[in-house]
Amino acid sequence: MKDQKQEGASQSEESGTGERFTSSGFILAAIGSAVGLGNMWRFPYITGKYGGAAFFLLFFICMLLVGLPVLLAELSVGRGGRGNASSSFTRLGAHKMWSGFGVIIILGAFVILSFYAIVAGWTLHYAMLSFTGQLFENNDFAQQFSDLNGSWMPVFWQFIVLLLTGLIIIRGVSAGIEKVNKIFIPGLLVLLIVLCVRVMFLDGAGEGAAFFLKPDFSKLTAESAFVALGHAFLSLSLGMGTIITYGAYVDKRQSLSLATAAVGTGNIVYALLAGLIIFPTTFAFGLEASQGPGLVFVALPAAFSAMPLGWLFGGLFFVMIAFASLTSTISLLEVPVAFVREKFGWSRSFSVILLSILCFVIGVPSALSLGDKIPWLTFGGKSFFDWVDFVCTNIVLPLGGLVVTIFVGYVWKGGAKESGLSAWWLRVWLFMLRYVAPILVLLVFLYSSGIISF
């Protein structure tokens, strides 16, 4: 059995679609998948809610102890198996049950994309309103945000996001995914730095930066630890098959541990910069930092409206989030695309067109469920959008992470070789995968799905 599993790895070396990333292209694409709404929209508001710098530190620790080991595990499964997020498991010699788990993970990615594209659509809408100045015609930003969700506009913008995503990945791994990431990821960094410098000159900015950078440990609770670990997963794009799928396109000579370190560093740097824009701005204009999801769409427009050239900075800010989201939607759509191509032998173009349309269709109820246009789309105290978000982020994602962790920690013996780690690091990695990650991920799952509470 052991030999069979190891053989699985070497047999599959030449298989797969044959599409490959270049080394830098892969690292940028993986950073692109990781950096997204998670860093620019979710991370700031949960950091605001759970106590600023102390929460940031927790997030950082969770990323180091659990996130990065699982990231390396997913990359190893992808490159070792050279299949999609389902077939990679069986190509490595595993029982068919594992590819069944893979199918659930792939479905999760597809459904996550359907609502992720809606939030990405909001950012495009806000960028346009900011550049045209329309955003600042009415100072009630909370009302504007709820008006947007009460309208059909989110459906339109969701369509645009999926259209752009489809147009990019239809061109393939190197001419599409890699090329766009090579432009967007450095471009994003430049925009973030420009905005960061601008914001530092605001009166009172220092107070916001201190809130974000000076830890107050008295604010930490068990809940914040769970939220931090859950966010480490979401933020590194784990548990959804994206990293396995990208891993299959990675050259054998690429160092996976180096790539893991690069993605971890990139993810932290972009989150730090986003925080250093958002908190100083929020504090400088006396806005509430802990207000939740409205932080970016409600608080920041108020700040931009009071700032000289605010329309320009606001527009750039929202375009930047839109860029970051697109590099993540690309990675999410590639997961089911890789699956159907291999499973049914369909062409890339056909698979992309079909799946984009399908994703749009299943996203429409989420997009329409946010206002009160269609009352039956809200049930059990949550809108359809919130349900989809809840099931994917709190249930499918941790379970997806658990599947990979257990597979690499206990089942597949070839992970040690594929990861390329030295003996000492290998021991640390396997320890994390076997003992630390599964327990913590299981706890997060039980906690976030409401099965246990504190």
Q: What is the DSSP secondary-structure string of 155-218?
A: HHHHHHHHHHHHHHHTT-IIIIIIHHHHHHHHHHHHHHHHHHHHHHTSTTHHHHHHHHHS--GG
* Number of Cβ atoms within 10 Å of the Cβ of 6: 17
| Size of the residue set binding ligand PFF (CB under 6 A) | 15
Short-list 360, 367, 389, CA closest to 160: 360
Residue 76's alpha-carbon distances to 70, 85, 130, 145, 435, in angstroms, are: 10, 12, 43, 42, 19
Minimum Å distance from CB 206 to ligand PFF? Answer: 28
Q: Residue 323 CB, nearest distance to ligand PFF (Å)?
A: 12
Residue with tokens 């971890």: 264
Of 180, 234, 244, 352, the one binding ligand PFF (CB under 6 A) is 234
Q: Report how far residue 102's alpha carbon sits from residue 77's, in angstroms, rounded to the nearest whole number.
A: 12
Per CB under 6 A, the segment of 17-25, 30-38, 151-159, 361-369 that binds ligand PFF is 30-38
Q: Give min distance, CB of 34 to ligand PFF, in A.
A: 5
From 39, 130, 181, 282, residue interacting with ligand PFF (rule: CB under 6 A): 39
Beta carbon of residue 36, minimum distance to ligand PFF (angstroms, whole number): 3
- Closest listed residue to residue 333, CA positions, set 230, 242, 451, 259: 242
Q: Per CB under 6 A, does 240 bind ligand PFF?
A: yes
Helix (H) or strand (E) holding 378: strand 378-379
Spell out, one character per residue from 278 to 317, where the chain touches ligand PFF: x when CB under 6 A holds, - when not. ----------------------------------------
Strands 382-383 and 378-379: what pairing?
A: antiparallel
DSSP 13: G
- DSSP code per residue over 385-430: HHHHHHIIIIIIHHHHHHHHHHIIIII-TTHHHHHT--HHHHHHHH
Segment contacting ligand PFF (CB under 6 A): 15-23, 124-132, 305-313, 327-335? Answer: 327-335
Residue 382 is classified by DSSP as: E
Which residue's structure tokens are 């990359």?
A: 75
- Least distance in angstroms from the C-beta of 47 to ligand PFF: 14
Q: How far is the CB of 404 from ligand PFF (least distance, A)?
A: 12
Residue that is written with structure tokens 């080394």 in the block: 23
- Residue among 28 and 302 whose Cβ is closer to ligand PFF: 28
Nearer to ligand PFF, 87 or 235 (CB): 235
Residue among 9 and 75 whose Cβ is closer to ligand PFF = 75
Position 123 contacts ligand PFF (CB under 6 A): no
3-state secondary structure of 248: coil
Rounded Cα gap, residues 227 and 123, in angstroms: 24
Burial 111-136 (b: 16+ CB within 10 A, else e): bbbbbbbbbbbbbbbbbbbbbeeebb
> Closest approach of Cβ 43 to ligand PFF, in Å?
8
The window from 15-23, 91-99, 234-242, 416-424 that contacts ligand PFF (CB under 6 A) reads: 234-242
Token pair belonging to 158: 């969701």
Q: Quick check: 33 binds ligand PFF (CB under 6 A)?
A: yes
Binders of ligand PFF in range 93-122 (CB under 6 A): 109
> Least distance to ligand PFF from the beta carbon of 261, Å?
17
Shortest Cβ 38–ligand PFF spacing (Å): 2
Q: Which residues pair with 383 in a beta bridge?
A: 378
Nearer to ligand PFF, 37 or 355 (CB): 37
How far apart are the two ends of the chain, measured CA to CA in Å? 43
Nearer to ligand PFF, 135 or 236 (CB): 236
- Residue 257 makes contact with ligand PFF by CB under 6 A: no
Is residue 328 near ligand PFF by the rule CB under 6 A? yes
38 touches ligand PFF (CB under 6 A)? yes
Determine the interface stretch with ligand PFF among 144-152, 235-243, 275-283, 343-351 (rule: CB under 6 A).
235-243
For ligand PFF, the binding residue among 123, 235, 257, 281 (CB under 6 A) is 235
Work out whether 242 is an interface residue with ligand PFF (CB under 6 A).
Answer: yes
Positive or negative torsion for Cα 167, 171, 177, 179 = negative
Of the candidate residues 9, 28, 29, 34, the single one contacting ligand PFF (CB under 6 A): 34
Among 149, 237, 254, 383, binds ligand PFF (CB under 6 A): 237
> Does 327 engage in binding with ligand PFF (CB under 6 A)?
no
The residues of the shown chain that bind ligand PFF, judged by CB under 6 A, are 33-34, 36-39, 109, 234-235, 237, 240, 242, 328, 331-332
